[in-house]
Amino acid sequence: MVNPVKGEAGSVEGEAELKESRLSRFLARRWAVPLVIAGAVAIVTLACLTPDLFARWQLARERDAIRARGEPAALAELAPEMPPDDDNAAVLLVQAFKLMDAASASEPADWTEFFRADDDAHRADAAAAVKLHAKAMALAREALKRPRCVFDLDYEKGPHLELPHLSKLRHLARLFAAEAILNALNARETKAADGIHHVLLLVGALDEEPLAISKLVAVSILGRGVESLKEVEEVADLSDENRDLLLRDLRSLDFEAAVTQSLVEERVFLLSVKPSDLVYTRNWLERGHVEFRAGLSLAERLRVLRLMSATIAASRLPPWEARPVARERYAQVGQIMDWDHLGVPATVKDAWKFRFSPFVRAMAARDAAVIGLSCELFRSARGRCPATLDELSPEFLDKLPPDPFTGKPFNYELREDGTSFIVYSVGSNLADDGGVRDIAKGKYDISWEGKE
């Protein structure tokens, strides 16, 4: 009788010998070894490529999801629809820029020193500059009556897109502001208000331009407008009608939407630029873009993209909630892009890290001016300053805006004389410095002062 255990063992040994003989015969063939080597190489190559292939697939999915939300995902998609020429302020503004260029050779070199506090030495230079550009300013006034402003830009150029109109808009803003202050000094308060009105309209002229650098230029122009308005209020007695006009201008400026638009544009840049083009250059400040280090992998690019999407989502929160989230996300982006290894200047790193902060400062400056002008309207109607800001609502201000840095009410102090006041935001250090802004001393309050 056959032993079953022994039989099974013999069967297993026989199968092993059969497999070994088959393998030997296979390897004995001339093409077998190259085939095995090629297969091994293919497996190793596939293993190496799989992460990039997966990241590429995820990037494509991310792009599709962005478009599904109705947001641009390619450079060409950034371009707003061009309005008819008769409705487009940019058509006339371009003509005004040409007049400015033609006259610029005769412009006083130091006339902008006129804006320095307590410095009248350059008043004649400022008056000469305004007179020199009178035709360009008149044309700009006509332009800003039009309902839309879209400059003809080739967005597909990406970081190589040139934006000469931005410096021209800033120059126009300085001219209108200078004209406003000069008119205030000469007791022409309505013309003074008109000059500030046109500075603020220049801020709105960049509403449809979804570029981060354009939005930051709008922030800069607002700063010029608010500071000039403060100077006008100090020397001129603005009428309630003029204050109402400027209040409408200020309240129309939507920097909450502007910050989201600028972040969306940054994300489009990430999606559209080839990895081989992502290198840091000194053109960063001119172009308004971060250009990444060469060799940024698809997986790293995907991580940066997702951080940007998270920041865009956060930007729709109230600014006091969005700001810390944005700072954290930007710090993570900086680590991925390895700024320190590249030797990127600290000013550039800080500009990116705190990209959200200029917009919050603009919101604070805008809202402080809105509250300040509303207090002036209250004083004109009641013969006194409001005891508290609550007295403004609803007759003079339908809703009190919160401090965009904290979400709390703006600070308000009625001076001891009862005829002057100060309203202020605590600024980016979140500390109450009594309305004082002195960055050298670490004081960042953003204020509006009302004086009798």
Q: Write out 361-407 in H/E/C secondary structure.
A: HHHHHHHHHHHHHHHHHHHHHHCCCCCCHHHHCCCCCCCCCECCCCC
Q: Which positions ≥6 away from 118 have C-beta within 8 Å? A: none
Dihedrals phi, psi of 443, to nearest 5 degrees: -110, 125
Residue 326 has pLDDT above 50, yes or no: yes
For 318, 382, 434, 444, the CA distances from 431, given in Å and listed in that order, are 19, 33, 9, 8
Q: What confidence category does residue 83 fall into, taking pLDDT thresholds of 50, 70 and 90?
A: very high
Give the pLDDT mean for 323-347: 70
- Across the chain, mean pLDDT equals 84
- Determine the Cα–Cα distance for residues 335 and 83; give it in Å rounded to an integer: 42
Which tokens hold the place of 210?
């979804």
Residue 299 has pLDDT above 70, yes or no: yes
Q: Which positions ≥6 away from 227 have C-beta within 8 Å? A: 115, 177
Residue 431 has pLDDT above 60, yes or no: yes
pLDDT value, residue 331: 78
88 SS3 class: strand
Q: Write down the H helix ranges in 186-297.
A: 189-204, 212-235, 240-251, 255-272, 284-287
Highest mean pLDDT among 250-254, 289-293, 412-416: 250-254
Give kind and range of the element (H or E) at residue 438.
Answer: strand 437-438
CA angle 93, 257, 285 (to 5 degrees): 65
144 in Cβ contact with 136 (< 8 Å): no
pLDDT value, residue 275: 47
Closest CA to 58 of 416, 285, 301: 301
186 SS3 class: coil
β pairing state of 411-414 and 443-444: unpaired
143 in Cβ contact with 87 (< 8 Å): no
Give the pLDDT mean for 373-396: 95
Place of tokens 């403060």: 230
pLDDT value, residue 21: 64
360 in Cβ contact with 349 (< 8 Å): no
Q: Where in the chain is the domain with CATH 3.30.700?
A: 356-452
Q: What confidence category does residue 283 fall into, taking pLDDT thresholds of 50, 70 and 90?
A: very low
Give kind and range of the element (H or E) at residue 150.
Answer: none
The string of DSSP codes covering 332-348 is: HHHHHHTHHHHT--HHH
Place of tokens 């309203």: 423
Q: What confidence category does residue 30 fall into, taking pLDDT thresholds of 50, 70 and 90?
A: low
Residue 235: CB atoms within 10 A of its CB come to: 14
Residue 101 has pLDDT above 70, yes or no: yes
Distance of CA 237 to the CA centre of its chain: 35
Residue 279 has pLDDT above 60, yes or no: no
Torsion, CA 247, CA 251, CA 252, CA 257, rounded to 10: 160
Residue 285 has pLDDT above 50, yes or no: no
Give the pLDDT mean for 418-428: 92
Which tokens hold the place of 42?
């293919």
Q: pTM to 2 decimals?
A: 0.84
Of residues 57 and 171, the one with the higher pLDDT is: 171
Give the pLDDT mean for 204-214: 94
Give kind and range of the element (H or E) at residue 413.
Answer: strand 411-414
Dihedrals phi, psi of 316, to nearest 5 degrees: -85, -5
CA angle 219, 316, 400 (to 5 degrees): 70
Give the pLDDT mean for 117-146: 92
Highest mean pLDDT among 33-42, 162-171, 264-273: 162-171
pLDDT value, residue 328: 85
Residue 347 has pLDDT above 60, yes or no: no
396 in Cβ contact with 374 (< 8 Å): yes
- Determine the Cα–Cα distance for residues 2 and 255; give it in Å rounded to an integer: 93
- Determine the Cα–Cα distance for residues 48 and 56; give it in Å rounded to an integer: 14
Closest CA to 288 of 150, 154, 155, 159: 159
pLDDT value, residue 353: 56
- Residues in the chain, total: 452
Supply the Cα-derived Rg of the chain in whole angstroms: 31
Of residues 405 and 326, the one with the higher pLDDT is: 405
Residue 154 has pLDDT above 60, yes or no: yes
Give the pLDDT mean for 389-394: 94
- Determine the Cα–Cα distance for residues 228 and 30; give it in Å rounded to an integer: 88
CATH class of residue range 356-452: alpha beta
CA angle 18, 24, 29 (to 5 degrees): 135
pLDDT value, residue 270: 72
